[in-house]
Amino acid sequence: MTDSIQVHDYGAAEYDKSASDYEWHGHEIIFGMCYDYLQPHATLLDIGIGTGLSSEFYAQVGLEITGLDGSLEMLKQCRKKKFAQKLIQHDLTKFPWPVESGSFDVVLSVGVFHFIHDIQSILKEVSRVTKPGGFFAFQILDPNDSHEIQHQEPVKQIRDGFEVIAHPLTYILAALDNHGFTKLKQVGFLAKHSPQTDEEFLCRAIIAQKSRAE
């Protein structure tokens, strides 16, 4: 089991409270950005669904939710909320994911990509499972939060004592393009390193649309 899954198994029961302690609002920002593209009964795949903090909003406006996550304990917390149609334990770095090709109107991923180095393989799989014309809504950490160093490739960083992977915006936009997605919206916002500090890091929320051509 990868460390990023194990750490969530340990922290699952406190996860929602901890997101609130960090004053984390990334899930709300992305939902607001997506709202125009959502239809009742549309199908949504949340990759790294965790406790369902992000995708519960989409269930509330009538979408049908499938969630993948490596952590059984996070899935257990999510199951208690009773909004998801299907929850599957799966390591996202293992391909193919156990879902049908071209079956989702929306793919969502919040708070997950900083655990994954090989985003190219993830985007290839997101493209496989998304319907033509469907949407991909996600969030990344961007390492280029100052003008001093401009990274071109994903880099490992230490945030609040944990190793994370930060993905430069230009790298992600090029990868989206390579995998048949067009960026519709992009917003940068700051999130706190820990509840005890005012130090912040740069996140990006991105909504992209898959090409309609097969």
Binding stretches for ligand SAM (CB under 6 A): 2, 4-5, 8, 27, 48-50, 53-54, 69-71, 74, 91-93, 110-112, 115
Least separation in angstroms between CB 209 and ligand SAM: 21
Nearer to ligand SAM, 9 or 211 (CB): 9
Least separation in angstroms between CB 149 and ligand SAM: 26
Least separation in angstroms between CB 166 and ligand SAM: 15
Question: Given the DSSP bridges, would you call strands 130-141 and 104-109 parallel, antiparallel or unpaired?
Answer: parallel
Least separation in angstroms between CB 212 and ligand SAM: 27
Nearer to ligand SAM, 5 or 176 (CB): 5
Least separation in angstroms between CB 17 and ligand SAM: 12
Angle at 30 between CA 127 and CA 49, to 5 degrees: 65
Least separation in angstroms between CB 16 and ligand SAM: 8
Nearer to ligand SAM, 64 or 211 (CB): 64
Which residue is at the shortest CB distance from ligand SAM? Answer: 50
Nearby residues of 139 by Cβ (< 8 Å), 6 or more positions away: 26, 30, 109, 110, 111, 113, 203, 204, 205, 206
At which residue do the structure tokens 């391909």 appear? 95
Nearer to ligand SAM, 180 or 204 (CB): 204
Nearer to ligand SAM, 108 or 180 (CB): 108
Nearer to ligand SAM, 58 or 115 (CB): 115
